[in-house]
Amino acid sequence: MSTNDWPLWEIFIRGAHGLSHRHVGSLHAPDAEMAIKNARDVYTRRKEGVSIWAIESSAIAASSPEDKGSLYDPADDKVYRHPTFFDIPDEVGAM
């Protein structure tokens, strides 16, 4: 019955030259070569990409939802990090 637990791979695709790779989904494959071949069939049947990355899901480290506060709250009171914080008078022109 079993597929001998083919590992799960996360697939990233570069949509067009100049763009970064984006996560599109995952699939099972016995090895990296097959993961890329399968990704080609599953995720790029309509020219959705120019490059494919496959990485075993187990190799990905992820932050957990509970860390949300400690990771992102510190940015809450740092609005001055955005250009819109500063009012530049109209007569200065585009900046």
Binding mask 16-45 for another protein (x = CB under 8 A): ---------xxxx-xx--x------xx--x
| 18 neighbors 9 (Cβ within 8 angstroms) | no
Does 84 bind another protein (CB under 8 A)? Our answer is: no
Closest contact distance (angstroms) between CB of 9 and another protein is 10
- Rounded Cα distance, 75 and 95, in Å: 24
| 67 neighbors 17 (Cβ within 8 angstroms) | no
Largest CA distance in the chain: 74
Does 52 bind another protein (CB under 8 A)? Our answer is: no
Residues that bind another protein (CB under 8 A): 1-6, 8, 25-28, 30-31, 34, 41-42, 45, 62, 64-65
